[in-house]
Amino acid sequence: MAGKDLERSKEAEGFEHEFESGLAVISQDKIGDPGLAPHRVRMTDKSPKHAKNAERQVAVLFLLSVVGSFFALWAYVAFPITEDLSTVRANNLWLGLGMTLSLLGIGIGAVHWAKTLMPDFEVSEARHQTRGSEDVRAAAVEIVKLADQESGFSRRKLIRRTMYGALALFPLPALVVFGDLGPVVGDSLRHTMWKKGTRLTKDPTGIPIKASDVTLGSVFHVIPEGLAEMHEHKLEEKAKAAVLLVRLNQEDLKEDESKKGWSYDGIVAYSKICTHVGCPVALYEQHTHHLLCPCHQSTFDVTEHCKVVFGPASRPLPQLPISVDAEGYLIAQSDFLEPVGPSFWER
Amino acid sequence: MSLRRRLNGSRRSPLAATIVIAAGLLFSGGGFAVATSVVESNVATAYTADQIAEGKKLFLSNCASCHGLNSEGTKAGPSLIGVGAASVDFQVGSGRMPGQGSGPQLPKKTVQFTEEQIGLMAAYVASLAPGPAIPDDKYLEATGDAAHGGELFRINCAMCHNAVGAGGALTEGKYAPVLKGVSAKHTYEAMITGPQNMPVFNDSNLTPTDKQDIITYLAYMDENESAGGYALASLGPVAEGLFVWIFGLGGIIGITVWLAAKSN
């Protein structure tokens, strides 16, 4: 062994010498072939008493599995899930424990059997090359040549080229058909249910909100009028149109000249859909006027058109321009003037 | 014939219509009066002049250093004019006031005053200007609609307080407190007054019945165990993920080591 090691390290040195200027790191103390550990005879091979014990242990494990199966069956009947939700707990617990015992009993039993009682000797299998022998390779080439000769693939140019054409074009109809399978997105990402005159209503009841209801420091979770009564596509529409309504002191608002008319008496409405990845931003702090997104902690300043003050969001929350109608209810002046929610390709 | 006439007569006394209309007016008018008095946070809760004077004494010796001698507020504490009896009852009754030192948020601590003293201070603050009153007992019983309360809770409260009221973090050291074990009265008062950074949920946003439903939902969550087994403080993915990392992966590693180990 020692002589062999020495040879190897010499070899390594020579290697290093050749590539001295390179970046290759040649390990000086690389791990050699540890060889096979000496065979250790198991207790179960030495003593029939131990072998008998191991046999009993395996049998007990398999019997435990049988008990587990019956227990799971019994538990399913004994702890039914009823109208009372708390029954789910006992049902899941006992059914699950029974099935665990039933599966683990088989698994552990089988492994224990293999480890203690099945033949125990070391086997070494030499690796062989993945490359086939020369004969096999020659035979394979012969087969391809013969097939080409018999089919006339190389000889008959017309057939070959028309076949290439047919193969290239056959996926086309499928591509066109698959393209039309899903819903056509169209401009649905750019518009929401809000339009001129839509009343702001409470989520989930759909009761319209009067400007006088929104007292200082209040937060209203708002959906557009008509959404509460929808049946189809209700969630899709809500996911785009959800709005948060807040009233601040007028002097706290720092509004752009161009957006001065978008608020009403200190009441401002912003899209609740985060511009980062679309979580509902609704953690409003009354005194800091910060809106926090629970997913990635993007923070928006409500006093300054919800500009981003912290976190990964890159755009302010879109503002819904609002006003009041003749009866004093809050209404939208128009839809959002930009797409709500996270960025998308053509935005 | 005579029977029929008598029947007719007994059915329609000439006074019947008048009585029905009068009763209708009385009921709707009375009902409206009750409803509006609730919505307007019943300003006219009766406190005697003595109570107010006693309350003022307590206020001057315990609160005025931060809130000002006339409750007008100072740099250390906000004005209390118009915050109402409900604010005092919540802040002092939960031990948050009087505050000890400043920080991002005043924590809940041992209550410093007796029920009676809190009532007197509330009377004084309520006498300064109209504000939210201490809620009526009938809205504090957990006998409402827990399912509706749960829906309202998820829309209005869960983003900060967690879906089952386990609380959560806000910005810069502020947090939404745990709601387990908070009394119905304090829950109601927090909704109408908006303590610290919590927004206000006035009676036109969540009606008193809505608030009662929310209280019912929280009481239901308090009283019933989680249907899914041990909830790990209901903190969600962090606690659950840690559990799986330690015990799930630990178990798998243990089994792998046993599989590869040679038998004795």
Q: Evaluate whether residue B5 is within a structural domain.
A: no
Q: Are residues B97 and B147 in the same domain?
A: no
Instruction: Identify which of B199, B225, B229 has the shortest CB distance to residue A286.
Output: B199
* Residue A130 burial class via C-beta count within 10 angstroms: exposed 0-12, middle 13-18, buried 19 and up: exposed
User: What are the tens digits of pLDDT across the range A69-102?
Assistant: 999 999 999 999 998 888 888 999 999 999 999 9
In this predicted structure, which of A9-18, A174-183, B24-33, B81-90 has the lowest mean pLDDT?
A: A9-18
Is omega for the bond preceding B208 within 30 degrees of 0, making it cis?
no
Report the predicted TM-score, pTM, of the whole model to 2 decimal places: 0.73
For position B44, what pLDDT does the model report?
47
Q: Clarify whether residues B103 and B163 are in a common domain.
A: no
On whether both B102 and B155 belong to a single domain, the answer is no
Residue B76, exposed/middle/buried by CB under 10 A (0-12, 13-18, 19+)?
A: exposed
Question: Do B64 and B93 reside in the same domain of the chain?
Answer: yes
Q: How far is CA A42 from the centre of its chain?
A: 47
Domain hosting residue B105, numbered range: 49-128
pLDDT above 90 coverage of chain A, percent: 68
Contacts of B156 (CB under 8 A, 6+ apart): A219, A221, B201, B205, B206
B27 located within any domain: no
Which regions in chain B score pLDDT beneath 70? 1-45
Confidence of residue A242 (pLDDT cuts 50, 70, 90): very high
User: What pLDDT sits at residue A77?
Assistant: 96
Instruction: Please determine, for residue A21, whether its predicted confidence score (pLDDT) is greater than 60.
Output: no
Between B16 and A202, the more confident residue is A202
pLDDT of residue B20: 62
* Shared-domain flag, residues B95 and B156: no
Question: Between B155, B224, B227, which is nearest A204 by CB?
Answer: B155
* CATH code of the domain containing B102: 1.10.760.10
Q: How confident is the model at residue A213 (pLDDT cuts 50, 70, 90)?
A: very high
- Asked if residue B182 is part of any domain, the answer here is yes
Residue B12 lies in a domain: no
The minimal CB distance from A294 to the residues B159, B204, B263 is found for B159
Average pLDDT over residues A115-138: 88
The residue of chain B nearest to residue A288, with distances taken between CA atoms, is B197
Which residues of A fall within a CB distance of 8 Å from B263? 42-44, 115-116, 120
* Chain B partners within 8 Å of A219 (Cβ): 156, 199-201, 205
* pLDDT at residue B42, as a whole number: 45
Nearest chain B Cα distance for residue A265, angstroms: 18
Q: Tell me whether B171 touches chain A (CB under 8 Å).
A: yes
| pLDDT number for residue B11 | 53
- Could you tell me if the ipTM is greater than 0.85? no
Q: How far apart are CA A304 and CA A293, in angstroms?
A: 17
pLDDT of residue B224: 83
At residue A273 the predicted structure's pLDDT band, cuts being 50, 70 and 90, is very high
pLDDT of residue B19: 64
Instruction: Kindly state the percentage of chain A with pLDDT values over 70.
Output: 93
Indicate whether A5 pLDDT > 80.
no
Considering the domain architecture, whether residues B123 and B153 belong to the same structural domain is answered as no
- Least CB-CB distance to B199: which of A89, A217, A292? A217
Single-letter amino acid code for the residue at B83: V
The total domain count for chain B is 2
pLDDT given at position A182: 76
A300-346: pLDDT as tens digits: 999 999 999 999 999 999 999 999 999 999 999 999 999 999 988 87
Average pLDDT score over residue span A10-27 = 56
**A213:B229 CB<8 A:** no
Of 2.102.10.10, 1.20.1250.20, 1.20.120.400, 3.50.50.60, which CATH number belongs to A200-332? 2.102.10.10
Residue A6 has pLDDT above 70, yes or no: no
Q: Can you give the pLDDT at residue B16?
A: 64
Annotated domain spans of chain A: 1-32, 44-116, 200-332
- Does B85 map to a domain? yes
φ, ψ of residue B218 to 5 degrees: the values are: -65, -40
Q: Tell me how far apart the terminal alpha carbons of chain B are, to the nearest angstrom.
A: 111
Q: Which residue has 């948050």 as its token pair?
A: B96
Could you give the CA distance from residue A159 to residue B134 in angstroms, rounded to a whole number? 93
Q: Kindly list the distances between the CA atom of residue A202 and the CA atoms of A208, A210, B177, in Å, as whole numbers in the listed order.
A: 6, 11, 25
pLDDT digits (tens, 9 = 90+) for A301-313: 999 999 999 999 9
CB contact under 8 A, A89 and B226: yes
Q: Report the half-sphere exposure of A254 (CA within 13 A, side-chain side).
A: 7
